[in-house]
Each structure stands twice: as structure tokens, then as C-alpha cells.
Amino acid sequence: MRHISFILEDEFQVMGLAALTAFELVNFDLGHEAYRLSVMSERGGTICSSLGIRIETQPLGDFPDTLIVVGELIPRPPKPDLRDYIARAGRESRRVAGVCTGAFAVAEAGLLDGRVATTHWAHAHLLQKRFPLIKVDADRIFTRDGNIWTSAGMSAAIDLTLALIEEDHGTALSRAVARNLVVYHRRPGGQSQFSALLELEPRSDRVRRALLYAKEHLRNPLTVEELAEAASLSPRQFSRVFAEETGQSPAKAVERLRLEAAKAMLEDGRHALDVIARDTGFADRDRMRRAFLRFYGQPPQSLRRNLRAVQEEDESGDAVVE
């Protein structure tokens, strides 16, 4: 039986505790207590979340198999005793993870120096500035470097937890837990924290409807006229409103959607480049290659090679970025 312990401080973010349910479901599915779960704080007792919800915690004790440090909406340095405990856990525990801004506490403990790490995108720049020895990858769902794991914000804690479960019990059980949680079974490795639809952030339902239409019909030409029809606007009105709400042209936004879909297919690893170009509406490999160079700074072939290298590192237990 493995002991999984979560560390909280006052003002902790409740979403970070969602990972507890994933471990609970492992115990349920296996029919025995594969994981013993506990929640700790520096002194024990009642800890209050940023929402005002209170939870009872145990004082710091024996080092667990896996220590998970839960983040806060506004990251603060941990108190000295807690920082020292996390630092020792890097040696005594099999794994240490910082979820969301929990990466800041793990960094304060010195466990991220020289390692790859991530955190919520809104705090990634601060993490890098405050801890220049960390290789902060602000665009990842979660990372693993040796026995230290970090995740992006909010729901990414579930992705990290499913990866921990997969390491312990294999893909089949991790997938079963994901089904019970009604979530995707580990978002594809390297998937960005961002999505094109979130970045564009249209204000009106009409523009949002056009973007959703585009995402679902990438193999179409997706001309201004086609998108305007989906938005129930004239082409001229649509172009004007689209630029006002998103800050870019419809053509640029469509290319971003195509790139996002093409990158996901590359990560999947099962599709030839010609198929990816066709299914995402680039028409041919050369046009897709030029778009990748403009946006990612490397062609699809190089991106695919890099992804394979990451997968090989995952299998060898070295640094992994996902």
C-alpha cells in the first residue's frame, strides 16, 4: 500500500484536492486500499481554503511515498519548517509533486533547480523570474523530471494524478479511473495549457458560433463567406466584428485552429503528414510546413521527432515534459 499525502496551507485552492478522488477511485476499482490518503499542514488542525471551506489536517509526520503540494490562488513562500519538510521529501519520498502554484513551494525547497517544471500559465513568468535555475515550460499540462512532478493550473492536477496512477498500476487502470471521473484519459503529451478558442476569447455568441463551426469543419475552405453564414452576418459585418472581438483576421484565426488540430494529430503519432494536412484543411504538406515554421519555429517533422524523444525519456524514467 502506497501512502499519498497532500500538503495544504491557508488559502489553498480547492481544485487541487480533486486529485484525491482519482486515488480514491483506484481503491474502489481494485477492491482494496492500494493508496492510503492523508492531508497534512505545517501544524495540523483546521486549514481554510480561498473559498472559506475548511478542512481538517494532520501535522507533518513520516514521509509518504508521494507528497503532493497543493497551490494557492496567489503563491506565497512556505514557512521554514514546511519548506524544510518538502526539501527532505525530495530525498525521503519516492515522488514529490507540486500542483498548480504548488510548484512555488517545491521550488522554495530547492527541488526544482536545474529541472523542467510548469505551473499555471498566469504565474509561469513569476516562477521563472523568482527561480532562474528552473527550466520553466509555461505551455505544458504537467512535467516530470526525475522524481519531481509539477502540473499546470486547476484541472491539470487530474492529468498529473492519472499519470502517477499509470506509473503505479498501468494504463488500463488509469484509463478506468479517467472514465469514472468523466475526463479525457491523460491529455496528449505536450498539449498546450492554452487553446485557440480560449486565446481568441470572442465576446459575442455569433463570433463564438463561427469559431466552433470552423473547429468542426477544418477540412472545408472556411472562407469569410462560409464563416459569416455560420455567424448569421454579412461577410463585411463578420470581418469587422471578428477583428474587433479577437484582434485578428478570420484567416489568421482559422490557421491557428488548423495548427492546433495538426499538432494534436502529430502527438497522437498514428497519422502520416499527408493525412494530417488533408484532415486539418492545410491541403498539402508544404502549406502545413510553412504554417508550422511561422508559429512553432520548426517543421512538423522536427516536432514529431522531439515528441518521440520525450516518449523515450518517459520510458527510461528521465525528464519528461507532458
Which CATH number goes with the domain that contains 33?
Answer: 3.40.50.880
User: How do 54-59 and 66-70 pair as beta strands?
Assistant: unpaired
pLDDT tens, position by position, 4-15: 999 999 999 999
Would residue 320 count as lying in a domain?
Answer: no
Q: At 272, list the grid cell.
A: 502520416
Same-domain status, 237 and 297? yes
Would residue 322 count as lying in a domain?
Answer: no
Residue by residue, DSSP assigns 284-302 as: SHHHHHHHHHHHHSS-HHH
Same-domain status, 138 and 233? no
Last residue of a domain, one of 165, 192, 219: 192
Query: How large a percentage of the chain has pLDDT more than 90?
Result: 67
Would residue 312 count as lying in a domain?
Answer: no
Last residue of a domain, one of 192, 214, 242: 192
Mean pLDDT of 50-77: 95
Residue 276 pLDDT more than 70?
yes
pLDDT given for residue 45 in this prediction:
97
pLDDT given for residue 320 in this prediction:
53
Would residue 139 count as lying in a domain?
Answer: yes
Query: How large a percentage of the chain has pLDDT more than 70?
Result: 90
Least confident among 19-28, 137-146, 192-201 = 192-201
Same-domain status, 254 and 105? no
Same-domain status, 165 and 210? no
Least confident among 54-58, 132-136, 316-320 = 316-320
Q: How many CB atoms lie within 10 A of CB 262?
A: 24
Same-domain status, 179 and 203? no
Residues 13, 6: Cα–Cα separation, whole Å: 12
Mean pLDDT of 90-104: 97
Which is higher by pLDDT, 188 or 105? 105
Mean pLDDT of 105-119: 96
Same-domain status, 24 and 74? yes
100 is an active site residue: yes
pLDDT tens, position by position, 65-94: 999 999 998 999 999 999 999 999 999 999
Residue 137 pLDDT more than 60?
yes
Would residue 257 count as lying in a domain?
Answer: yes
pLDDT given for residue 188 in this prediction:
47
Q: How many CB atoms lie within 10 A of CB 3?
A: 17
Mean pLDDT of 218-236: 95
Would residue 148 count as lying in a domain?
Answer: yes
Domain count of the chain? Answer: 2
Would residue 321 count as lying in a domain?
Answer: no
Same-domain status, 168 and 240? no
The CATH number of the domain holding residue 241 is 1.10.10.60
Q: Looking at 100, 109, 162, 165, which residue is catalytic?
A: 100
Q: At 295, list the grid cell.
A: 508559429
Last residue of a domain, one of 192, 215, 233: 192
Same-domain status, 103 and 122? yes
Burial class (CB in 10 A: 0-12, 13-18, 19+), 280: buried
Mean pLDDT of 195-216: 82
Same-domain status, 97 and 173? yes
Would residue 243 count as lying in a domain?
Answer: yes
pLDDT given for residue 200 in this prediction:
75
pLDDT given for residue 298 in this prediction:
84
104 three-class SS:
helix
Question: Is pTM beyond 0.75 here?
Answer: no
Residue range of the domain that includes 237: 196-307
Residues 201, 71: Cα–Cα separation, whole Å: 26
Same-domain status, 177 and 53? yes
Same-domain status, 108 and 11? yes
Residue 195 pLDDT more than 90?
no
Same-domain status, 162 and 266? no
